Amino acid sequence: MDLDAHVRTADFDRWASSRLISDADARADLIALYAFEAELMAIPTRVAQPLLAEMRYAWWADQMDGVFAGDPRKGHPVLERLSACVQRRGLDRSVLDDLIQAHIGRVHSEPHGLTDFFVRPMGEAVRILIGEPREAAETAGLIWGQISTGDIQAARTARSQANRQLRDLPVLAFPAVAHACLIHREEPEAVKRLRITWAALRGRI
């Protein structure tokens, strides 16, 4: 599996943001994280019954031991690349574990916030790029969650606060948050790439 192509198809917005990363290894590690998230997001589209979806999420949860021990399931490109990312970047396992659990809750229609789905994973994306998560990215993660769940007005309202915080975010970390500028996710891909580039030039979402 070509993970780069897979993420481009499944999650174009974050894939486009990753194009801002000049370091090929860092870009590949970020793509590994996004591919993992894309696999989790796709499960409910592949199985109709919540119990079957929960079983698939449980399988992913079981794989985390191997991923974090540096012994991922052989022949599984997402797990192998994610494990390599974990070893290089020191990702926080609790973020991935909690993300899986949040997806299990989602398929059972349990209420959930945006922190486990969007804010903390964005923090890990920042960690991949600069070695640690930064508080400055938290509001950007919240905005991305609001955009992703259709709460556009809330995302617009939070922009000013996010941009004030992003002044403290190192330039190298900006590709982890740049896609939060995409308020209108239905726009053509070429327009999205222009918006992301403009956001990066300004350091603002």
The C-alpha atoms of residue 71 and residue 59 are separated, in whole angstroms, by 16
User: For residue 118, what are the CA distances in angstroms to 27, 71, 112?
Assistant: 19, 27, 11
Convert the pLDDT of each residue in 7-54 to its tens digit: 999 999 999 999 999 999 999 999 999 999 999 999 999 998 999 999
Residue 5 has pLDDT above 90, yes or no: yes
Percentage of the chain beyond pLDDT 90 is 94
The C-alpha atoms of residue 146 and residue 179 are separated, in whole angstroms, by 12
Range of the domain at 7: 3-202
Number of domains in the chain: 1
